[in-house]
């Protein structure tokens, strides 16, 4: 388990609805996510990236690439199914392999990163 530092966490998979939503994407990963057809959007003045997918196989392939890039998968989502739980579901279905890092918050500026 890794506890937070003073910097905001980067490279987050935060929400999955019609697209995979990424936040706080580091400059080193912009080119790689653009290769996954990510498009930049402003939501409430905040930059997010949206990656489309059509089915479980495609979301699994996208998650695998994001995982290899070091993205953190949010473990709590008040709006629905957390990306970390989606990763576990896809891994249970043998569509993904290996571990990933999830992130949860205990409060503002206070987060925990776990290997799962």
Who wins on pLDDT, 60 or 6? 60
Mean pLDDT of the region 11-15: 81
Handedness of CA 114, 89, 10, 109 (dihedral sign): negative
By the 10 Å C-beta count (0-12 exposed, 13-18 middle, 19+ buried), 33 is classed as buried
Give the pLDDT confidence of 67-90 residue by residue, as tens digits: 999 999 999 776 678 999 999 999
Who wins on pLDDT, 25 or 12? 25
pLDDT at residue 107, rounded to an integer: 86
| Reported pTM | 0.86
pLDDT band at 16 (very low <50, low <70, confident <90, very high): confident
Q: Where are the domains of the chain?
A: 2-115
Distances (CA, A) of 45 to 14, 42, 94: 16, 5, 38
Who wins on pLDDT, 18 or 71? 71
> Can you give the length of the chain in residues?
116
């Amino acid at each position: 388990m890794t506890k937070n530092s003073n910097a905001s966490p980067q490279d987050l998979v935060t929400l999955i609805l019609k697209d995979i939503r990424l936040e706080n994407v580091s400059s080193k990963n912009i080119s790689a996510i653009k290769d996954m057809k990510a498009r930049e959007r402003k939501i409430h003045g905040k930059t997010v990236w949206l990656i489309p997918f059509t089915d479980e196989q495609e979301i699994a392939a996208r998650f695998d690439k994001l995982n290899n890039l070091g993205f953190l998968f949010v473990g709590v989502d008040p709006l629905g199914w957390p990306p970390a739980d989606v990763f576990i579901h896809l891994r249970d279905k043998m569509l993904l392999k290996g571990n990933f890092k999830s992130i949860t918050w205990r409060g503002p500026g206070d987060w925990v990163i776990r290997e799962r």
